[in-house]
Amino acid sequence: MKKIFVYISVLVLATSCTKLSSLNDDPKKAVVVPGEMLFSSAEKSLYDNLMSNNVNLNVFRLLAQYQAQVTYITESRYDLGTRNIPQAFWQALYRDVLKDLSAGKALIKADSALLPADVIIKKNKLAIIDITEAYTNFILVTCYGNIPYTEAMDINKLDPKFDDQKTVYYDLLDRLKADVAALDVSQGSFGSADLIYQGNVASWIKLANSIRLKMGLVIADVDNAKAVEVINDAATNVFTSNADNAILKYLSSEPNTNPIWVDLVKSKRKDYVIPTTLVDPMNATNDPRRPFYYTATTPGVYVGGVYGSGNVYSSYSHVSAKITAPDFEAILIDYAEVEFALAEAVARGGFSVSGTAADHYNKGITASITYWGGSAADAATFIAQPTVDYTKLSGTWQSKIGMQKYIALYNRGYDAWLEWRRLDYPILNAPVDIAYSNIPVRLTYPVSEQNLNKTQYDAAAAAIGGDKVTTKLFWDKF
Amino acid sequence: MKRALLFLTMLMVSVTLAFAQQRQITGKVTGADGSPLPFATVQIKGTTTGTTTDQQGSFKLAVTGSNPVLTIRSVGFATQEITLGNSNAITIKLKEEDKNLQEVVVTALGITRKKNELAYSAQTVSAEELNRTRDPNVVNSLSGKVAGLEVRRNSTMGGSTNIVLRGNKSFQNSNQALFVVDGVPIDNSTTNTSDQASGRGGFDYGNAAADINPDDVQSINVLKGAAAAALYGSRAANGVIMITTKKGRKGLGVTVNVGGTLGTMDKSTFPKYQKQYGAGYYDQDDSRYESPDGHFLYRDIDGDGQKDLVVPMSEDASFGAKFDPNLMVYNYRSFDPTSPQYKKPSPWVAAAHDPSYFFKNTTTSNTSVSIDGGGDQGYFKLGYTKTIENGMLPNAKLAKDMLNFGASYNLTSKLTASAAVNMSKVDGKGRYGTGYDEFNPMQGFRQWWEMNVDVKQQQEDYERTKLNKSWNLQDPNNPVPIYTDNLYFMRYENYEKDNRIRYFGNVALNYKITNWMNLLGRVSMDTYTQSQEERNAVGSKNTSSYSRYDGTFGEYNYDLLLNIDKEINNNFKFTGLVGGNVRNTRVKYVREETNGGLVVPKLYSLSNSVNPIQAPVEADSALQVNGIFASVGLGYKKMLFLDLTGRRDQSSTLPKGNNTYYYPSASLGFVFSEVVHAPWLSYGKLRVNYAQVGNSAPAQALIDAYDKPSGFGSVPLFSVPATKANAHLKPEQTKSFETGVEASFFQNRVSLDVTYYSSKSIDQILRLPVSRATGYDQIYINAGTISNKGVEVSLNVTPVKTRDFSWVVGVNWSKNKSKVLDLPSGVDFIQLGSFTLQGGITIGHAKNDAYGVIRGTDFIYDKSGKKVVYDADGDNPGYYEKTGSANNVIGNYTPDWIGGITNTLRYKDFALSFLVDMKHGGDVFSLDQYYGQGTGIYASSVRLNDNGKNIRDAVEDGGGIIFDGVTPDGKTNTQRVRVSGTRGLGYNGFPSKAFVYDASFIKLREVSLTYSLPVSLMSHIKTFKGIDISLLGRNLWIIHKNLPDADPEENLSAGNIQGYQSGVYPTYRTFGCNVRFRF
DSSP string, B187-229: ---B---HHHHTTS-EE---BGGGGS-GGGEEEEEEE-SHHHH
Lowest model confidence (mean pLDDT) among A348-362, A411-425, B161-175 = B161-175
Q: Give residues 157 to 176 of A whose Cβ lies within 8 Å of B.
A: 157-160
End-to-end CA distance of chain B: 21
Q: Is B719 close to A100, i.e. CB distance below 8 A?
A: yes
Interface membership of A91 toward B (CB under 8 Å): yes
Nearest CA in chain A to B652: A20
Tell me the residue type at B597. Answer: G
> Quick check: B705 and A29 in contact, CB under 8 A?
yes
- Provide the ipTM: 0.94
Q: Which of A8, A254, A454 sits opposite B828 (nearest CB)?
A: A454
A321 touches chain B (CB under 8 A): no
Q: Give the mean model confidence (pLDDT) for residues A235-249.
A: 97
| Residues on chain B touching A21 (C-beta within 8 angstroms) | 652, 655-656, 659
- Say if residue B10's pLDDT is above 50: no
Check: CB of residue B762 under 8 Å from CB of residue B238: no
Residue B18 has pLDDT above 50, yes or no: no
Q: Do A195 and B715 touch (CB under 8 A)?
A: yes
User: What distance in Å separates residue B479's CA from the closest CA in chain A?
Assistant: 11
Burial label for B607, CB within 10 Å (0-12, 13-18, 19+), is: exposed
More confident position, A310 or A181 = A181
- Among A96-110, B2-16, B755-769, the minimum mean pLDDT is found in B2-16
* Residues on chain A touching B474 (C-beta within 8 angstroms): 270, 313-314
**CA dist., res. A7 & res. B114, Å (int):** 32
Interface subset of A 335-394, CB within 8 angstroms of B:
none
Q: If pLDDT is split at 50, 70 and 90, which confidence band does A56 have?
A: very high
- Residue B97: pLDDT over 70: no
**Inter-chain contact A314–B478, Cβ cutoff 8 Å?**
yes
Q: Does A452 touch chain B (CB under 8 A)?
A: yes
Ramachandran quadrant class, B987 (left: phi over 0; alpha: psi -120 to 50; beta: rest): alpha
Distance from CA of A18 to the nearest CA of B (A): 9
The pLDDT value recorded for residue B488 is 97
* Eight-state DSSP code of residue A374: -
Name the closest residue on chain B to residue A198, using Cα atoms.
B715
User: How distant, in Å, are the alpha carbons of A101, A149, A171, A209, B693 from that of A130?
Assistant: 8, 13, 12, 13, 49
Give the mean pLDDT of chain B.
90
Q: Tell me if A256 and B297 make a contact (CB, 8 A cut-off).
A: no
* % pLDDT > 90, chain A: 87
What average pLDDT score do residues A271-277 get? 97
B624 vs B1013: which has the higher pLDDT: B624
- Nearest Cα neighbor of A451 from B770, B890, B1059 is B770
Spatial distance between the Cα atoms of A454 and B847, rounded to a whole number of angstroms: 14
B775–A94: do the CB atoms touch at under 8 Å? yes
Of A33, A70, A192, the CB nearest to B715: A192
B314 and A313 within 8 Å at the Cβ level: the answer is yes
CB B553 within 8 A of CB B527: yes
Of A315, A318, A274, whose CA–CA distance to B297 is shortest?
A: A315
Q: Note whether A40 contacts B716, CB cutoff 8 Å.
A: yes
B-chain residues near A446 (CB < 8 A)? 772
**Residue A448 at interface with chain B, using a CB cutoff of 8 Å:** yes
Query: CB distance A21–B718 less than 8 Å?
Result: no
Any B CB within 8 A of A155 CB: yes
B435 in the Ramachandran plot: left (φ > 0), alpha (ψ -120 to 50) or beta?
Answer: left
Contact state of A24 with B623 under an 8 Å Cβ cutoff: yes
Between CA B1060 and CA B1065 the distance in angstroms is 13
Rounded-to-integer distance, Cα A319 and Cα A331, Å:
17
Alpha-carbon gap, residue B412 to B231, rounded angstroms: 30
- Partners of residue A103 in chain B, C-beta under 8 Å: 720, 775
- State the count of interchain CB pairs (< 8 A) between A and B: 268
Mean per-residue pLDDT, A121-146: 98
pLDDT tens digits, B327-347: 999 999 999 999 999 999 999
CA gap B753, A183 in Å, rounded = 79
Q: Residue B520: closest CA among chain A residues belongs to which residue? A: A5
**Closest by Cβ to A9, choosing from B560, B720, B769:** B560
Binary contact (A21, B656; C-beta < 8 A)? yes
For chain B, state the CA radius of gyration.
33
Kindly indicate the confidence band of residue B6, based on its pLDDT and cuts at 50, 70 and 90: very low
Q: Which of B314, B558, B772, B990 is most worth mutating to test chain A (most A CB atoms within 10 A of its CB)?
A: B772
Q: What CA–CA distance (Å, rounded) separates B1056 from B194?
A: 11
Q: Kindly list the residues from chain B whose CB atom is less than 8 angstroms away from the CB atom of residue A268.
A: 480-482, 541-542
Tell if the CB–CB gap between B705 and A26 is shorter than 8 Å: yes
**Mean pLDDT value across residues B257-278:** 96
Q: In chain B, which residue's Cα lies nearest the Cα of A15?
A: B582
Q: What spatial distance separates the first Cα and last Cα of chain A, rounded to whole Å?
A: 94
Nearest of B281, B321, B202 to residue B449 by alpha carbon = B281
Q: Which of these, B3, B55, B41, lies nearest to B1025 by C-alpha position?
A: B55
pLDDT at B64 over 80: no
- Please compute the mean of the pLDDT values over residues A3-14 and round it to a whole number: 55
- Nearest CA-CA distance, residue A15 and chain B, Å: 7
Task: Give the β-pairing of B923-926 and B1060-1061.
Answer: parallel
pLDDT at B184 exceeding the cut of 60: yes
Cβ contacts of B580 on chain A, cutoff 8 Å: 12, 16
In this complex, do A157 and B774 lie within 8 Å of one another by their Cβ atoms?
yes
pLDDT tens per residue across span A421-466: 999 999 999 998 888 999 999 999 998 898 889 899 999 999 999 9
For residue A155, which residues of chain B lie inside 8 Å, CB to CB?
A: 724, 770, 774-776, 779
**What's the whole-number mean pLDDT along residues B725-742?**
93
d(CA B750, CA B427): 46
- Tell me, what's the pLDDT at B213? 87
Query: How crowded is residue B285: how many other Cβ atoms within 10 Å of its Cβ?
Result: 12
Q: What is the DSSP string of B956-1016?
A: GGT-SEE-SSB-TTSPBP--EE---SSSSSGGGT--GGGGEEE--EEEEEEEEEEEEPPHH
Using alpha carbons, select from A173, A168, A94 the residue that is nearest to residue A131: A173
Of A44, A84, A155, the CB nearest to B774: A155
Least Cα separation, residue A421 to chain B (angstroms): 22
Q: Please give the C-alpha separations between residue B481 and each of B314, B471, B486, in angstroms, as whole numbers.
A: 8, 8, 8
| pLDDT over 60 (residue B99) | no
* CB neighbourhood size of B615 (10 A): 10
Average of pLDDT values for B402-428? 93
Q: How far apart are CA B550 and CA B191, in angstroms?
A: 11
Q: Which residues of B touch A84 (CB under 8 A)?
A: 836, 840, 886
Highest mean pLDDT among B23-32, B112-121, B193-202, B817-826: B817-826
B522 CA: distance to closest CA in chain A (Å): 8
Q: Tell me the shortest Cα–Cα distance from B701 to chain A, in angstroms.
A: 8
In chain A, which among 408-437 make CB contacts under 8 A with chain B?
432-435
User: Could you say which residues from 195 to 224 on chain A have a Cβ atom under 8 Å away from some Cβ of chain B?
Assistant: 195
Q: Which chain B residue is nearest to residue A156, measuring alpha carbons?
A: B774
Report pLDDT for A13: 52
Quick check: A94 and B773 CB within 8 A?
yes
Task: Identify the closest residue of chain A to B290 by CA–CA distance.
Answer: A312
CB-nearest to B709 from A41, A103, A158 is A41
Contacts of B354 (CB under 8 A, 6+ apart): B273, B275, B451, B455
CA distance B105 to B123: 9
